[in-house]
Amino acid sequence: SNPMGLLRPQQNAHRNLLDISGLWDFQMDPGEEGEAAGWFRALPMPRPIVVPCSWNDLYDDARDYLGLAWYLTRIWAPAGWRAQRVFLRIGSANYAAKVWVNGTVVAEHQGGHLPFVAEIGPQLGWDQPNVIAITVENKQLLGRVPPGPGEGGGGVAGVLGGYPATTYDFFPYAGLHRQVVLYSVPAEAHIDDVTVGTTIEGSDGVVNVRVHASGGYAGQGRVRLNGAETELSFQAGSAEATLRVPSARFWAPGSPHLYPLTVTLADGQRSTDSYSLEIGIRTIAVRGSQLLLNGQPVKLTGFGKHEDFPLSGRGLNLPMWVRDYELLRWVGANSYRTTHYPYAEEAMDLADRLGVLVINEIPAVGLNFEDPPEATAQRLAQATRQLQELIARDKNHPSTILWNVANEPMGGPLLGGGPPVPEAAEAGMRFFRQIYDETRRLDPTRPVTMVGVQGGPLEWHGIFDVVCINRYYGWYTQAGRLDEGAETLARELDELNSRFGKPIIIAEFGTDTIPGVHAQPAEMWTEEYQVEFLRRYLDIAAQRPFMAGMHVWNFADFKTGQGTSRAAGMNFKGAFTRDRRPKMAAHFLRSRWAQL
């Protein structure tokens, strides 16, 4: 079952959906006086704001503001929904949110990038406008995921000297980043979760469907898939069926076939609820050092990305997404990683539809196991919730082939500036064993990985199914010495292969590159240097059959905090500029990938 009610809302004959995004009222509340003053009824000095959008690029005084802010709108509940159960769903509030409906608190939630839901029928008025108020703050606190830098800085912020201070290398955009919707479901039993698992038997697809319905539903239902139909008999809210698709078209990049699947609750001839989704029939597995899609070895080509664009910040930007998928196709990428947090649900739909493989990551970036044990305990609880929410949200997407539970956790000095600290390495082992087991419990069908930092404790990789590493030999170390960097990389890959015998993915490698800056011979920050760096890494991987993927850092330039190593508040490691123009590197990657 899906206790968080995260089944994506949809409109059909039994259910309703109303997007209440758009222009809302906004007010920052640095003194945190609004709640006592009743701002959940009306804001004293409102300015317009866009939902979904980050607030940071819209107002000068909001640029670096990460404190408490209020969002407020007034809506009419559609009269036709009166007999149904009504919910409010917030797609992403970055980071902590509290929600009022007509003055009553209906939800609180921690963590951005993932949806949360509150049932609001009892608070709604049907003969008057309803006031929806949401507070959001993005304080960088030690116990959060991602963690804040805590006292005296630390983490990446300390190294980069970034402002606003973060433990990670991207701008801490804040606000309501995805749509806010109202939806309704039948007052009698409704479908509250569907879990689809697919296997392949010869040329047939075998589709297992588990359904959960509310209120301990004990009636009948059915599943329809590809013209075939099977009965469902519910007991205590649960039912399960297995369907066979003869001579199925399996989902893969290049042939991303989707089959429509509909689950219905039925009381005799009368259907009382239904829910539809598009499924892909495919398998994903690890065998030795190979990643197998539908039983065939697959090698990932692509990038780490960001949800990042001028003005909209981290807010849902559908034109950006459609353009990015077009550029992924153009450059010959078959995959990307959702660095460093879950991406929009529409982005996952597009990956299914366009045949793009996704490494799907929770927002666990900047974990440092030298931090106090209380902080680690809080982060474990929060990361576990984020995993539960992410898997509940994305488990039915064929495009998600790998769960990633952390990016560059630290257990000592960065970039091999010294050996790992044994106590920190052990704390990390305990943390990741629990996280790994929880991930496998929630979803036994997908492999799990952790993305390791250069110089970090290698034993952590032993826990996971796939070894993912970020490496910057020839940039952060061996600066200006591409050949030396390449030698170190080749040696380390061979060591990792003999130690683990698992698939290895370089999940990040890249160099900051100012577009239009050139040098012969290649020099750091130039377009030539980026190409020569990428060429060496790709060549080394091509010579090693155990390499399962290469993800360039980054798809596009992106906004960071301000600091001495981030010119103009940007990370310039994109193959494309922030406005999606190709650098030389994009053309180079296309020459290597597009004909594969």
Looking at the Cβ atoms of 14 and 314, the one nearer to ligand GCB is 314
Q: Which of 25, 192, 371, 508 binds ligand GCB (CB under 6 A)?
A: 508
Looking at the Cβ atoms of 221 and 452, the one nearer to ligand GCB is 452
Residues 199-218 that bind ligand GCB (CB under 6 A): none
Looking at the Cβ atoms of 349 and 492, the one nearer to ligand GCB is 492
Looking at the Cβ atoms of 503 and 574, the one nearer to ligand GCB is 574
Q: Which of 535, 541, 471 is nearest to 503 (CA)?
A: 541
Looking at the Cβ atoms of 250 and 553, the one nearer to ligand GCB is 553
Cα of 434 vs its chain's centroid, Å: 20
Contact 167, 368 (CB under 8 A): yes
Q: Which of 399, 470, 526, 530 binds ligand GCB (CB under 6 A)?
A: 470
Q: Which of 116, 133, 108 is nearest to 4 (CA)?
A: 116
Interface with ligand GCB includes 26 (CB under 6 A)?
A: no
Q: Which of 192, 394, 408, 557 binds ligand GCB (CB under 6 A)?
A: 408
Residues 83-122 that bind ligand GCB (CB under 6 A): none
Shortest gap between Cβ of 450 and ligand GCB (angstroms)? 12
Q: Supply φ then ψ for residue 304, to 5 degrees.
A: -85, 150
Task: For 410-437, give one letter per residue: b (16+ CB within 10 A) or e.
Answer: bbbebbbeeebbeebbebbbebbeebbe
Residues 27 and 29: their CA atoms lie apart, in Å, by 6
Question: CA of 192: how far to CAs of 24, 118, 212, 443, 474, in Å?
Answer: 30, 14, 6, 18, 51
Q: Which of 571, 582, 584, 588 binds ligand GCB (CB under 6 A)?
A: 571
Report the amino acid identity of residue 12. N
Residues 159-188 that bind ligand GCB (CB under 6 A): 168-169
Q: Which of 115, 112, 131, 134 is nearest to 26 (CA)?
A: 134
Shortest gap between Cβ of 476 and ligand GCB (angstroms)? 7
Residues 550-569 that bind ligand GCB (CB under 6 A): 553
Bridge pairing between strands 116-119 and 85-90: antiparallel
Looking at the Cβ atoms of 192 and 508, the one nearer to ligand GCB is 508
Residues 137 and 140: their CA atoms lie apart, in Å, by 9
Looking at the Cβ atoms of 289 and 470, the one nearer to ligand GCB is 470
Beta strands of 246-326 (E only): which ranges? 259-267, 270-279, 284-287, 290-293, 296-297, 300-304
Shortest gap between Cβ of 347 and ligand GCB (angstroms)? 18
Question: CA of 5: how far to CAs of 169, 202, 367, 392, 403, in Å?
Answer: 32, 36, 28, 9, 21
The residue nearest ligand GCB at its CB is 169
Shortest gap between Cβ of 296 and ligand GCB (angstroms)? 30
The secondary structure of residue 188, as a DSSP letter, is: S
**443: three-class secondary structure by DSSP:** coil
Count of residues of this chain found to bind ligand GCB when the rule CB under 6 A is applied: 10
Residues 303-342 that bind ligand GCB (CB under 6 A): 340
Query: Which two tokens mark 525?
Result: 């920050």
Shortest gap between Cβ of 181 and ligand GCB (angstroms)? 31
Contact 287, 203 (CB under 8 A): no
Contact 200, 218 (CB under 8 A): no
Residues 458 and 322: their CA atoms lie apart, in Å, by 37
Interface with ligand GCB includes 407 (CB under 6 A)?
A: yes
Looking at the Cβ atoms of 408 and 443, the one nearer to ligand GCB is 408
Residues 338-367 that bind ligand GCB (CB under 6 A): 340
Residues tagged active-site: 408, 508
**186: three-class secondary structure by DSSP:** coil
Report the amino acid identity of residue 182. L
- The neighbour count for residue 454, using CB atoms within 10 Å, is 22
Looking at the Cβ atoms of 89 and 578, the one nearer to ligand GCB is 578
Binding mask 573-592 for ligand GCB (x = CB under 6 A): x-------------------
Q: Give the torsion sign (CA, 291, 297, 303, 308).
A: negative
Q: Which of 499, 593, 585 is nearest to 550 (CA)?
A: 593
Q: Supply φ then ψ for residue 548, to 5 degrees.
A: -105, -5
Looking at the Cβ atoms of 71 and 168, the one nearer to ligand GCB is 168
- The neighbour count for residue 582, using CB atoms within 10 Å, is 18
Looking at the Cβ atoms of 168 and 275, the one nearer to ligand GCB is 168
Question: CA of 447: how far to CAs of 283, 305, 457, 518, in Å?
Answer: 11, 21, 21, 41
Count of helices and strands (H, E) across the chain: 8, 32
Shortest gap between Cβ of 571 and ligand GCB (angstroms)? 5
Shortest gap between Cβ of 282 and ligand GCB (angstroms)? 28
Binding site for ligand GCB (CB under 6 A): 168-169, 340, 407-408, 470, 508, 553, 571, 573
